[in-house]
Amino acid sequence: MTILGISGSLREASFNTGLLRTASVIAPEGVAVTIASIRDIPLYDAEIDVDPQPAAVTALKHLIARADGVLIATPEYNYSYSGVLKNTIDWMTRGTTRPFIDKPVAVVGASPGNFGAVRAQTDLRRLMSSVSGMVLPRPELLVSNVKAKVNEHGIITDEATLTVYRTLLNNFAAFIKHAHMKG
């Protein structure tokens, strides 16, 4: 089973990208997590939304379409998800292929503050439902005070957080299997 990780932060030392790297380390047996970059996705502009769409858009659409599920790690910017993430998701909903339709999606988030990007994650769940993704309902992974919970590579080391994250990834794998059975 393959899960594609998408981070809503572009910065190299992003804690949210670190959450995706953590998933690739602790994923259940038989689940491979790879990470896609959204750095080259252009700002959405209907004038460049022509056939063929920009190469970075087409490439990401293929990666999402090929994956069994998508794990999105979002930072919280001003109580919501990041603009670069919204811009990417908007592109994914235009053109003839719309890879989020019926795609299993799990949401996680981390912040250096006390709330673990909860407001961003709540908004992102609503957004992903609106684009017809199938959003894993629980558990929620709200990684607050993240600086104290990672090693120098941004990998989560906090045991309580890892326990919830393992449950989330196990649930997501089961959710994906169930989605395939129905589909």
Closest residue to ligand FMN, Cβ-based? 75
> Which three-class secondary structure state does DSSP give residue 141?
coil
Q: Which of these, 172, 170, 150, 147, lies nearest to 159 by C-alpha position?
A: 150
For ligand FMN, which is the closer residue by CB, 3 or 146?
Answer: 146
- Considering only 5, 16, 71, 134, the residue that binds ligand FMN (CB under 6 A) is 16
Contacting ligand FMN within 133-152 (CB under 6 A): none
Pick out residues in 62-91 that bind ligand FMN (CB under 6 A). 75-79
Confirm if 116 and 147 have CB atoms less than 8 A apart: no
- Residues 3, 5, 9, 71: which binds ligand FMN (CB under 6 A)? 9
Give 29's Cβ-side CA count (13 Å radius): 0
Binding residue count for ligand FMN, defined by CB under 6 A: 14
Helix intervals (H) in the chain: 15-26, 55-66, 83-92, 118-130, 159-182
Element (H, E) at 31: none
Q: State which residue, 79 or 163, has the beta carbon closest to ligand FMN.
A: 79
By CB under 6 A, is residue 5 in contact with ligand FMN? no
Site for ligand FMN in 153-182 (CB under 6 A): none
Binding test (CB under 6 A) with ligand FMN, winner from 111, 125, 128, 133? 111
Which residues in 32-51 contact ligand FMN (CB under 6 A)?
none
* d(C-alpha 25, C-alpha 18), whole Å: 11
Helix, strand or coil, per DSSP, at residue 81: coil
Tokens in use for 28? Answer: 């259940």
Stretch that binds ligand FMN, among 7-15, 53-61, 93-101, 134-142 (CB under 6 A): 7-15
Binding of ligand FMN by 14 (CB under 6 A)? yes
Two structure tokens written together for 175: 């959710």
63 and 97 Cβ atoms separated by less than 8 Å: no
Binding stretches for ligand FMN (CB under 6 A): 9, 11, 14-16, 75-79, 111-113, 115
